[in-house]
Structure 1
């Protein structure tokens, strides 16, 4: 998953920067493993997944979010994903690729960890100045088949008040915590695994904005390698733009880490003169790196704790159930 681009600064130092959804150039990375498990929000009725998705956020450039006060909305500047602007503005995605007709615009992903704090990848927010140039947009998703999101409620757009902390180490610790310009309304912080321990083989899922697209849920992943101190490796289906997405334990719904880096995203198909998604065997290729939540947890604790657990889930015809009961009944991985 092409989550990183290494850019040489004018003074000769390599800096990790987010890749805008329409920036040119190759070298982005990400992939899907086995079957592509990504789905839109309208394609699931699972209360757990939808509740988790409500607390995820898309990062947009400020210039790409236009307030419309009269309508109480904000218009989002996007580009057609079929033109694959994130790879090359003059070459198209191959017809038949998934999400071909959808809009793309997000530059990174993130998630709510405190009432006014978002976590994301460190390479997505490189400085206080850069942070202030971003907008944190909740609700960039397809909730009804065929209805493409080109705007959100004005109240779902937040600015950056301050960058609370960050690290961006390739094959290491990659995280950022951003205080928003006001408390988030109508969405709850996610519960995180501050201890950071996770076993190989653990089932995981992620929710974010791969390739800058409207929110996608990708389940069916597992932890491949948990030997590194600051990160673990999964076979989740991820692409650039998905940097900063939360990676959830599929049984507890708890955030285990932050999706940060991975394999090659797209490959050039000479015979058709177009780009096609890079496909890996279920257990092939290198895998997708996930920064453990234990890494930013101490900073998060210092600013008021790692958020609150999700509330109980209500199902039609049922009383309140705990999150664990709900997940066990839904059985994400039979």
Structure 2
């Protein structure tokens, strides 16, 4: 009997092929579908593009085909108290959160790993495109990019601790998406051609404001658009409906175009300005998690991403007292947004990351 691993199975092709690869590698694999919310959490009858009953049945069908046990773990409580609560409170505070980062920290590699350890399992596995390796010189566990750069998900995993990394497997880390789909076809998996979900699971239509209003039971207050001197330029349709750098949907006919610069949760005002005011060379971050090093002894050259979809830029990272980080870019960066994650790299290796403060 191989080492015991519990694999998060969403019903998609990535986690299904992960099950196949783990089984072929000799692990004792159990499939786990995570129930993260109930209908009342997202709005009764609303169509979802992931985490649906149909997705759970696809996962169950793959587990049956591979002959592995399959379980459903109800983590809707912890999901609601951490991911959704953080999402709502951050937007209401004028920031733009990244719920996938919070979910990985609190649920997939938090609550799930804790449950797995109580069941005497050795590992948690997921279908993320990333790699875990051990640095034999330092003894530290490293998080590395997935081989398929177009699918690399290391950005969303920067918060994993040394303990979590030591009990985590990413079977797809060395594969390309085309290889994953080919393996699924070869082994007759039902979801070989299933499209990838690009959505936040609890707001698949992308209307975050409507989700927040349903969750809180109150509309987001309207308020003023103001300029740098505080002069009123017009009225906005709800504080939570706008994010830094936004230009479309402001409803203002002015030249040159205006962009959201920042938001004041105290007054509900949203300050607008020119594109040039969105560019900065420095940021600070909080809740920093260091991975490849315990903490830099001083300034450290890195590349960094302030959004998942962007190409990283060269910068100098300096640790701050209290677990913070100052990052100074070689070239100005546009629309660095409080609440988002900044992730630091050294080549293929994730150095660490944190939550952008300003």
| TM-score, L = length of structure 2 | 0.21
Higher-RCO chain (CA-CA 8 Å, sequence separation at least 6): 1
More helix by share: 2
| TM-score, L = length of structure 1 | 0.22
